[in-house]
Amino acid sequence: MTKNISSLQRPIPSGFNAESTAQEVIKGIDLTGKTVIITGGYAGIGLETTKVLVSAGAQVIVPARDLEKAKQNLTGIENIEFEKMDLMNPESIDAFCERFLASGRKLDILINNAGIMWVPLRRDSRGIESQLATNYLGQFHLTGKLWPALKKAKTARVISVSSYGHQMAPFDFEDPNFEKREYQTLLGYGQSKTACNLFSTALDERGKKFNIRAYSLHPGSVYGTDLGREEPIDLYIQMGTHDENGNIKPEVEARLKTIPQGAATTVWCATSPALQDIGGVYCENCDVAETDLGQIEHRFDDPTTIRGVQPYSIDKDNAEKLWKLSEKMLGFTFDTE
């Protein structure tokens, strides 16, 4: 194990696996009286996560950029609250957090689930590349502003839905916004997910004294989400997952996770008693992931091989460097005291 990586970054094992569903993972766990905030909790694996947490008794707040879509998708589900929030708009994040803090409630679980992928070069009003802004800096900002409510819970968890995509790129500290280098959408995505992992590493270190633990995770290769809605079909064909007509190959589809399976690791990280004394780790398949030191063969046409965590994305020195850069980019201090 590399000296800058947590000794806890190894499978437990948990008793669950890649085929486990979110409902199976949460069986026997009572979340009555717990308050959860989940970004993007109204579509894809986020929607499934919301439903499962509510079924266990949690009160779930879903901040959404598209409020009407959120209400439509979650109609008829009890113990749900909707709030307007856009992760690419810092004023929107501040306003949401101020409203929540004013309610005086504790926050037991924060799930940073919302994300984008395969997008062309776009920048927010501050000039920040959109995948970095949405997939990472927005969640850093949100978590920082909600810190008092997390402390109030006495025992809280912060979950960052990352991705195997972190293996596509380390964090570029010299040019995070693609101002000097050529923009490639997968480099932007990979960098943003590496940042999620590093954030959890640094956040857990700061939160331990308040019993706030942090986790990042890969949900798996999941069929039926809209994450790839902007992806050029040529890339799918090039990766070997689709045929020349743009249709997913049946043998690949058969190996993909269902949405209930895709939500399972998020729910496991958020609720599992097995993680009571473990934090700051990257998880997959409802367990702590194995560190990828070059011993794992990865093939995109076999999703079961898409696993493992790169040491650079959980390196403690990188995590501290990114924390300072994030505060500088956002213009505020994340006070963890």
The residues assigned a catalytic role are 189
Neighbours of 13 (CB within 10 A): 12
CA distance 178 to 80: 38
Could you give the count of Cα atoms lying within 13 Å of 286 in the half-sphere of its Cβ? 24
> What residue has token string 């929607």?
47
Per-position DSSP letters for 99-157, written without gaps between them:
HHHHTT---SEEEE-----SPPS-B-TTS-BHHHIIIIIHHHHHHHHHHHHHHHTSSEE
Instruction: Find the helix or strand (DSSP H, E) in which 213 lies.
Output: strand 212-218
Q: Is 277 helix (H, G, I), strand (E, B) or coil?
A: coil
287-288 and 281-284: which strand pairing? antiparallel
Burial of 299 (0-12, 13-18, 19+ CB in 10 A): exposed
